[in-house]
Structure 1
């Protein structure tokens, strides 16, 4: 439709009829002397712009270009918007580039924050937001941090669509969250961990971690599992981890330590160094369902009954291409090459395990076994299909209606720790162990 003189005049009149306050609903950074591409440090002008915009309850809009800034203190209520991928903040030094001690109602979007390898204090990130409700961090890029990328402490809100790369510690740290969603972010080339969901003390957390892409996670600072994880949950209860694509972590795709009621569903995990999905040390309540695991030393482990670890439902997972060696730093005597391992109060059903070089499923460890149900699984190409503890003190297990193919050392074998002490119990010897029911399994 063409714009004639009458319609042009009408449109102009309509614009003029809008109150000036509404037309000036955004403050431009250039109005505070911020000059994209300037060679000098613009920290003072940037801070003035942020403070004025927050005090006026108006968003601050930054033009495309590069801004050299040191530490900027973000007040509650600040909204800072850049041009996605083109508004770059080059960090000149401080405790962080964007720091908010009280982060209520803060929004950051469309910013590129480049740490340039400048030193940061311990436990800080290039962006550090603390104690805030209704926080939004969207469509930002964070790179080049000498410590963490993004640190959130006591935050309720949404972190979505960001890219974090090239950080020396963890990509994203969420500590003592108060209703946080971490969604659709890309985290790659983090030296120690991808996403940390931690609590100072064990308790309800409720963080949702979904649909993120996490790649190339190292364990530069070593250890036996505290580093090298794409997603690590510690002491945080009622966390949901779903639909993430994880590839290339030195230890685990997902590691949950001391958690309660964690849900780990529908994740696609590949090329892991140790246990792909690890639920350990005093956990109570875990659903691990419908995940795909391709390449790890162990597939899914729910363990540490000796520390109170119990209560798991492991269902509908596909596990394949496991290897028989754990990474450096772990105990060389620890097991490897196992599809699924569990110790107490667990149901393991309808999983497909292919190519586990030690055993498809491992039940219990010595006397640490209680109330395990293993049904309707398909296990192909493992020397032992299902290994079950028959050591003195081991509790009850049901092993029924599984399909085991190509188990050269036996479809169901009784173990005392690592040592096999029975033949194939699908054929004989079951009656010696009143605590075991082995029935209806199909072996070929």
Structure 2
């Protein structure tokens, strides 16, 4: 092959670069890598003795000098360690294990900035942490960065954050008695790409002490096997639970096998539930309830739940929603409590469009409940194999509903039916006129 001038010049440049990064340059890089971390004399004792004092001294030195503490692979038994601003602790992912002895937490930080934890296993071993205990507790912590860590075997919560900002990413939470991660009054928090499994009460909680904007992002997490061991009617048993926290984004999560909901937002205004995959839920899969204003529930998949999507509690101020582009299928009737078996339910100031619902033993879509209905548009949905395709309230105080251009196939007791409370009345409005009902505009639907 004949080489041109361009190839010769590039070959010469490559040779020059190779010479520049020869043995001396490579050794310099290795020295920098070695100097970037320090063990501060700490070595694992495989749990034989408490290393609390040694670890605390090393963590303090790391914060003071700015050189991260590196903990080699092995087991370290410790009581609670308190981390100062600037503390960076790095371990070997899955192999550097901090085992809890006592103190209500393994790691705790308060009023700090720039604390970073990477590659650690925090193992509670099921030992009693005490009330409000957690494996990691951070209060008023800014720029907190926790990644590639594992939180296992907690008798209380996994991680508890209060007034924290930063990110919790690429971590694993498992065998947690209460909640994997609890955040209250966050200020710029990202919870992303974590694996949460086998929790006794909840997966991820995003709460505020008072109603207000929170803006936490919960994205790309895998959440599964969440029980409701502490009981209740929905406060437990959820993959993601939002309470009083506004502007929270819950996107692209895979959530399965929760006793109650995949995502439950209570009084969380401007919440977005977008592009989540939700399977095998014991109650309502995606829930916006109580005193909220603004919810977008779009492009999600719900497969197997007592109810797919609920936007409710207009009587408590719950209003203003878009429910669009979701697939909801394989609904079931609950053996106890409310019957459910409903695809989508909405009450006030909402648009329901472009959804596909299949296999609803009760209703495909329920519009309003009793007097609680105002300004709902239901258009361009496909409903297959429901007992009743669409049920809409015609109670005396119910507001207006527009139902148009929906395709309903295989409804056993009517494609579109008026409802007084839970009872369907009158003819199938997909075939007969809705003029008898002053609050309805129903036209151009196909029911067969």
Q: TM-score, normalised by structure 2?
A: 0.93
- Asked whether the 8 Å contact 1:422–1:429 carries over to 2, the reply is no
Aligned to 1:11: 23
The 3 A distance-change label for structure 1 pair 60 and 392 is: same
In the TM superposition, residue 133 of structure 1 has moved relative to its aligned partner by 1.4
The 3 A distance-change label for structure 1 pair 432 and 397 is: same
Aligned to 1:414: 418
- Asked whether the 8 Å contact 1:113–1:126 carries over to 2, the reply is yes
1: CA distance between counterparts of 2:298 and 2:258? 20
2:204 paired with 1:195? yes
> Aligned to 1:365, what secondary structure does the other structure show?
coil
2:437 paired with 1:433? yes
Aligned to 2:218: 209
2:72 paired with 1:63? yes
Q: Cα deviations across residues 219-248 of structure 1 (Å, max 9, x unaligned)?
A: 000000000000000000000000000010
2: CA distance between counterparts of 1:434 and 1:351? 26
1: CA distance between counterparts of 2:297 and 2:112? 34
2:279 paired with 1:270? yes
- Asked whether the 8 Å contact 1:36–1:64 carries over to 2, the reply is no
1: CA distance between counterparts of 2:214 and 2:33? 39
The 3 A distance-change label for structure 1 pair 26 and 294 is: same
In the TM superposition, residue 13 of structure 1 has moved relative to its aligned partner by 7.7
- Which structure 2 residues correspond to residues 378-393 of structure 1 after superposition, within 5 A? 378-393=382-397
Aligned to 1:337: 341
- Which structure 2 residues correspond to residues 189-268 of structure 1 after superposition, within 5 A? 189-268=198-277
2: CA distance between counterparts of 1:317 and 1:38? 50
Q: Cα deviations across residues 95-131 of structure 1 (Å, max 9, x unaligned)?
A: 2000111231000010011101121232331011111
- Which structure 2 residues correspond to residues 71-110 of structure 1 after superposition, within 5 A? 71-110=80-119
The 3 A distance-change label for structure 1 pair 41 and 434 is: same
State the number of aligned residues: 431
2:404 paired with 1:394? no
In the TM superposition, residue 392 of structure 1 has moved relative to its aligned partner by 1.1
> Aligned to 1:367, what secondary structure does the other structure show?
coil
2:374 paired with 1:370? yes
1: CA distance between counterparts of 2:26 and 2:119? 31
> Aligned to 1:53, what secondary structure does the other structure show?
helix
Larger mean Cα displacement after TM superposition, 387-396 or 101-110: 101-110
Dislocated runs of 4+, deviation >6 Å: 7-10, 18-22
In the TM superposition, residue 428 of structure 1 has moved relative to its aligned partner by 2.0
The 3 A distance-change label for structure 1 pair 434 and 73 is: same
> Aligned to 1:144, what secondary structure does the other structure show?
strand
Structure 2 gaps of 5+ residues are 1-18
2:170 paired with 1:158? no
The 3 A distance-change label for structure 1 pair 353 and 119 is: same
Aligned to 2:9: none
In the TM superposition, residue 15 of structure 1 has moved relative to its aligned partner by 4.5
Structure 1 gaps of 5+ residues are 1-6
Q: Cα deviations across residues 23-68 of structure 1 (Å, max 9, x unaligned)?
A: 6332214x1x433425111001000000011111110000000111
- Asked whether the 8 Å contact 2:431–2:447 carries over to 1, the reply is no
The 3 A distance-change label for structure 1 pair 443 and 21 is: closer
In the TM superposition, residue 153 of structure 1 has moved relative to its aligned partner by 1.2
- Asked whether the 8 Å contact 1:169–1:191 carries over to 2, the reply is yes
1: CA distance between counterparts of 2:32 and 2:422? 75
> Aligned to 2:398, what secondary structure does the other structure show?
coil
Aligned to 1:287: 296
Aligned to 2:326: 317
Aligned to 2:143: 134
- Which structure 2 residues correspond to residues 301-312 of structure 1 after superposition, within 5 A? 301-312=310-321
